[in-house]
Amino acid sequence: MFEWMKIPYALLTLFIVVNYGLLMTALIAKIGARVGRRHGIPIYQNYIDLIKNYGLRSSITHGFMFYLGPVFRLTGGVGLILFVPIIYGSEVFSNFSFAGDLILALYFIFFGTLGMALGAGESGHPYAAIGISRGLSQVTMAELPLAMAVFAVALQYQTLSITDIVAAQQGGILNWTLFTNPFAVAAAMMSFLGSMMRPPFDVVLAPQEIPIGPPTEYHSSYLALMQTNRVIFPIAKIAIFMSLFFGGAASWPVFFLKVFLIYMVSVFVGVVFPRFRVEQSIRWFLIWAVPMGVLGLVWV
Amino acid sequence: MKDELKKRIITGPDGFEFEVDPLNDYYCDAPPKVHPPAYVKIVEDLFNWARSESIWILGFGTGCGAIEMRPLMTPRFDAYRYGVQWRPTPRQSNLFIISGYLSVKTLKRVIRSYEQMQSPKYVIGLGSCTINGGMYWDSYNTIKKLDEYLPVDLYIAGCMPRPEALLKGFEDLKKIIRAGEGEGANIYAKNFDWYKANQKKVIQDWDMPDYNW
Amino acid sequence: MRTLYAELNKRFPLGELTVQREDLGFITVEREHLRALLLHLRDLEGFTHLVLLTAVDWMEEGIFQLTYLLSDRKKRRDLGLRVMIARDGASMETVHDVWPTAATYQRELCEMFGIDFPDSPGVHDPFILEGWTDIPPYRREFDTKKYADETFTHRAGRETNDPAEYMKKQLYPDGA
């Protein structure tokens, strides 16, 4: 029987995640600014930007898919959050998780990118088209090691349910997949770098080169939708990574801390390494990440 | 007008002939609408506050003054503290800084970019050249009064004004926006014919639609 | 610079030499010798770089002076070649096949001075002025102030006062 209380609970999860995401991305921008000895944006700047973009008076459209692009993207992020257990062992925050939710999560990670491709393609801007072709090839390539890592984990624990995977990792830090199957985790983290849109894999947006790639034509409410997604989606993705590889989280503070630390991995890599071109990043994934994934599978 | 912009008949690869009119096919030709502040006052005030605290500048340097905007991103001035950010595309920006002298050729691009911005949008004239031509007062190729061609919210005088003056300008612009007086887009829409007549007077080869968002 | 001039003078009939600095000189040449001289300088003397190609309007004499400024990076010297051409129906042979960059300079000269360079690629395309209908603006008979007054609206000036007069009026309103 379906429990109707799950719906408000899931919305509560969403609310917490959105606010956390807004604050965390601002905090990370602030940390980046501090590295450059600036003060950077105020911590609440993302809220203001959102209100402003929703409050703009005019907006234009380039067609039907142009509308749907940001909606698809947001669906990807929200869907990911709704179908993934966020807090392990909590009835309230396990959302709509079910036995095969790992497969659904994998699908949702890719879903937003596809929707964005259709929408941005319809905007007719050449930079959008370039960004899309780069983005799709790069994300597809990054997806391969991730899929391998996920298969390895599923094989290792003999289940497709994220809750069960988290349950198997309880009881000490050494039970985490990070230590029981380091190769799979390495492959997944490489894929994670590739899908975070930070250097060295940010040639899709490439602000100095093709300003700014797929979202070039998006504005006002469309852009606000995409901004909302941009704070939800990474967190949802990191939540999955955390559950699969880093032992999950049993309470919100642990969740916040782990998400922040995993996010910082991509930030650290991003400030150290320059940008890859698409063919370079694809080669990098093929040479380093995919063998890691294979090793991870063999390890199991 | 360039050849590729003229209306012409094209034969497709399958032998089918069709007419191409780039000016009408690629652009929208509807005049801009006046967007009244349609909300109740308190909501509009909230939005105005958000607009004033989140100013996104179009990264388009039209003249030498653009060099004064760059230091604002650096640690010394750090305009990000005040919610000022730069966006690479006109669709997402709210503020257009005309930085210094504006030649007729650039004016054409400026008009196109300005019309692609979403309302409400603001224009700052930076430097003497935008006010009265400045040292280019007798030049054959730079405009003398910016407010003849675009609705200007604020002028920052100087040749060139220092980045501090720009920061002060942003603060003043915030006051204007919060007071609900940053209605440049509506002024532009209301006096559209007047602005277009002025623009066409100086731009000799008008090879774009009258309104091209 | 003078040795180079003497050397060149054996092969080409050259005009006057102006030595600005030890490493910068200008030579006047006839237009029919220009091309051969440019090729000679580029291929044999090491002047591999065309720094700029510009024009001077000598309206009273009725001529344009074209200046081809060449640079020898190895020996660190610059040489300018001056060519005088008639001002009426000004036209010059193109050198874009010697230096491809010349095409851009020639396009600019065509627009700003109205000097035609037949066969130079895209020489009649608008460069900076789009849709210019008046006489080319760098010709000296073009009155830029008059044009600016006619085309653009000027902002009315502020009211100004002579400080001495003004203070006098303020302090002693009845003219005492």
Hunting for tokens 């609206």 — which residue is that?
C153
Using a CB–CB cutoff of 8 Å, tell me whether B92 touches chain A: yes
Q: Which residue of B has its CA nearest to A221?
A: B92
Is residue A135 within 8 Å of residue A204, measured between CB atoms? yes
Q: Which residue of B has its CA nearest to C148?
A: B140
Amino acid identity for residue B179 in this structure: A
Using a CB–CB cutoff of 8 Å, tell me whether B70 touches chain A: no
Which of C130, C132, C148 is the closest to B138 by Cβ? Answer: C148
Domain contains B169: yes
Domain contains A1: no
Burial class (CB in 10 A: 0-12, 13-18, 19+), C123: buried
pLDDT of B39 higher than 80: no
Rounded Cα distance, B139 and B147, in Å: 18
Is residue B62 within 8 Å of residue B110, measured between CB atoms? yes
B25-29, B35-39, B83-87, C15-19: least confidently modelled range: B25-29
How many domains is chain A partitioned into structurally? 1
Domain contains B184: yes
Using a CB–CB cutoff of 8 Å, tell me whether B151 touches chain C: no
Burial class (CB in 10 A: 0-12, 13-18, 19+), B190: middle
Shortest distance between the Cα of C148 and any Cα of chain B, in A, equals 5
pLDDT band at B73 (very low <50, low <70, confident <90, very high): confident
Rounded Cα distance, A81 and A91, in Å: 15
Contact B204 C151 (CB under 8 A): no
All residues of chain A having their beta carbon less than 8 Å from the beta carbon of residue B91 are: 216-219
Three-state DSSP class for residue A39: coil
Three-state DSSP class for residue C88: coil
Using a CB–CB cutoff of 8 Å, tell me whether B75 touches chain A: yes
Q: Which residue of B has its CA nearest to C137?
A: B140
Using a CB–CB cutoff of 8 Å, tell me whether B141 touches chain C: yes
Q: Which residue of A has its CA nearest to B52?
A: A52
Partners of residue C54 on adjacent β-strands: C67
Is residue C107 within 8 Å of residue C125, measured between CB atoms? yes
Question: Which tens digit of pLDDT belongs to each residue from B119-131?
Answer: 889 999 998 889 8
Architecture, CATH, for domain C2-155: 2-Layer Sandwich (3.30)
Q: What is the DSSP-derived secondary structure letter of residue A51? A: H
Shortest distance between the Cα of A219 and any Cα of chain B, in A, equals 5
Rounded Cα distance, B62 and B109, in Å: 9
Per-residue pLDDT of chain A (300 residues; tens, 9 = 90+): 567 778 888 888 889 989 999 999 899 888 888 888 888 888 899 999 988 888 888 877 777 778 888 888 888 888 888 888 888 877 777 777 777 788 888 888 877 777 778 878 777 778 888 888 888 888 888 888 888 888 888 888 888 888 888 888 887 788 888 888 888 888 888 888 888 877 788 777 766 667 777 787 888 888 888 888 888 888 888 888 888 888 888 888 988 999 999 999 888 888 888 888 888 888 888 888 888 888 888 887
What pLDDT is stored for residue A160 in this prediction? 85
Contact B138 C145 (CB under 8 A): yes
Using a CB–CB cutoff of 8 Å, tell me whether B121 touches chain A: no
Domain contains B5: no
All residues of chain B having their beta carbon less than 8 Å from the beta carbon of residue A212 are: 87-89
Shortest distance between the Cα of A71 and any Cα of chain B, in A, equals 18
The domain of A277 spans: 6-299
Contact B83 A41 (CB under 8 A): yes
- Assign residue B123 the CATH number of its domain: 3.40.50.12280
Contacting A residues, span 27-46, partner chain B, CB-CB under 8 Å: 33, 36-42, 45
Contact A42 B83 (CB under 8 A): yes
How many domains is chain B partitioned into structurally? 1
Using a CB–CB cutoff of 8 Å, tell me whether B120 touches chain A: yes
Shortest distance between the Cα of A256 and any Cα of chain B, in A, equals 26
Q: What is the DSSP-derived secondary structure letter of residue A288? A: I
Tell me the helix, strand and coil percentages in chain C, rounded to 5: 30, 25, 45
The domain of B156 spans: 36-202
Question: Which tens digit of pLDDT belongs to each residue from C57-115?
Answer: 999 999 999 999 999 999 999 999 999 999 888 899 999 999 999 999 999 999 999 99
All residues of chain A having their beta carbon less than 8 Å from the beta carbon of residue B92 are: 215, 218-219, 223
Record the tokens describing residue A274, joined without a space: 């320059």
ipTM above 0.90, yes or no: no
All residues of chain A having their beta carbon less than 8 Å from the beta carbon of residue B75 are: 36-38
Record the tokens describing residue A129, joined without a space: 């088209």
All residues of chain B having their beta carbon less than 8 Å from the beta carbon of residue A207 are: 88
Three-state DSSP class for residue C34: helix
Judge A/C contact: 3 or more CB pairs < 8 A.
no
Domain contains A146: yes
Mutation site, B4, B138, B200, B206, interface C, largest C CB count within 10 A: B138
- To the nearest whole percent, how much of chain B has pLDDT over 70? 94
What pLDDT is stored for residue C57 in this prediction? 93
What pLDDT is stored for residue B150 in this prediction? 92
Is residue B59 within 8 Å of residue B87, measured between CB atoms? yes
Q: Measured on CA atoms in the order A274, A279, A285, A287, is the torsion positive or negative?
A: negative
Domain contains B209: no
pLDDT band at B86 (very low <50, low <70, confident <90, very high): confident
Shortest distance between the Cα of C173 and any Cα of chain B, in A, equals 34
What pLDDT is stored for residue A171 in this prediction? 78
Q: Which residue of B has its CA nearest to A220?
A: B92
Can you give the residue ranges of every domain in chain C? 2-155
Rounded Cα distance, C171 and C165, in Å: 10
Rounded Cα distance, C166 and C160, in Å: 10
Contact C151 B201 (CB under 8 A): yes
Shortest distance between the Cα of B68 and any Cα of chain C, in A, equals 24
Contact A56 B118 (CB under 8 A): yes
Contact B103 C153 (CB under 8 A): no
What pLDDT is stored for residue A133 in this prediction? 83
Partners of residue B58 on adjacent β-strands: B87
Which of C130, C145, C153 is the closest to B145 by Cβ? Answer: C153
Mutation site, B89, B122, B213, interface A, largest A CB count within 10 A: B89
What pLDDT is stored for residue B122 in this prediction? 93
All residues of chain B having their beta carbon less than 8 Å from the beta carbon of residue C145 are: 138
